[in-house]
Amino acid sequence: MKNSFVLFYDNKEIFDALSNEQAGILVRAIFEYEITGTVPELDAVLRIAFIPIKQSLDRNTEKYENTVERNKENARKRWDKQDTKNATGTTGIPSDAKDADNGNDSVPDNGPDNDIESGDAGASAPADGEKTKPAKKHKRGEYGWVMLTDDEYERLTTEYGENAVGYYIAYVDESAQSTKNKNKWRDWNLVVRKAIRDKWGNYASENSGPGNPFMDMYLEGEKRGES
């Protein structure tokens, strides 16, 4: 069981946009979520501020759990290898363990969506004869519309920064929720990239001017809900 969690330097921008009272409430909310797994009740501004932090916490938790499972699997393979050696006098590894080591987690993107251009630098194509298995996609955003693999998410945050990516994931997620995904978006990696390139939701102007960078996003979401 984890006994700690990580906050990144990028998160400082979020706290800087809040008052001391709001920042304190947000810190308590982070502890509550990490310890209990329950998303706390927050006002509109803090709810938007909490989203990118929650995504970061979820990603780190998943990495921790994957590491634990991988260590268990490696331990099992070592025991299987030892059992095989004892039984046959050789140091061979069972064939099922060998097969498990030859997998490839990468997979090309799903393809273009309606009104969304293709051509994003996705996962590399497999070599001839190499087997691949689909990379697992995870729900991102409060409503879970945006589905990205860990590799897709990491490439986005490397290129654009975690706060910007969190903002646009939340924006796309809320847009899909408010319209029940009337645009039939499927390749969420491309949708988020297009949102960043075309500056959906005016993220750049919000973060370059005075005021709280989360309030305009919330008001925009309220406007969409009334239409």
Domain that holds residue 101: 9-226
pLDDT of residue 129: 56
Task: Please indicate, yes or no, if residue 210 is contained in any of the structural domains.
Answer: yes
Task: Please indicate, yes or no, if residue 3 is contained in any of the structural domains.
Answer: no
pLDDT tens, residue by residue, 23-48: 999 999 999 888 888 888 999 899 88
Task: Please indicate, yes or no, if residue 4 is contained in any of the structural domains.
Answer: no
Task: Please indicate, yes or no, if residue 21 is contained in any of the structural domains.
Answer: yes
HSE at residue 102, side-chain half, CA atoms within 13 A, is: 9
pLDDT of residue 114: 45
Q: Residue 11: name the closest of 49, 48, 58 by CA.
A: 49
Task: Please indicate, yes or no, if residue 55 is contained in any of the structural domains.
Answer: yes
What is the chain's pLDDT, residue by residue, as a tens digit (227 residues)? 667 777 877 788 889 889 999 999 999 999 988 888 888 899 989 988 898 888 888 888 888 788 888 888 888 888 877 766 665 554 444 444 444 444 444 333 433 344 454 444 444 555 555 666 788 899 998 899 999 999 899 889 888 888 888 888 998 998 899 899 998 899 999 999 988 888 887 665 555 444 444 445 444 444 554 44
Q: Report how far residue 148's alpha carbon sits from residue 3's, in angstroms, rounded to the nearest whole number.
A: 27
pLDDT of residue 17: 87
How far does the chain reach from its first CA to its final CA, in angstroms? 45
pLDDT of residue 11: 81
Task: Please indicate, yes or no, if residue 78 is contained in any of the structural domains.
Answer: yes
Instruction: Please give the tally of structural domains in the chain.
Output: 1
pLDDT of residue 94: 44
Task: Please indicate, yes or no, if residue 1 is contained in any of the structural domains.
Answer: no
Task: Please indicate, yes or no, if residue 2 is contained in any of the structural domains.
Answer: no
Cβ neighbourhood burial of 173 (10 Å; 0-12, 13-18, 19+): buried
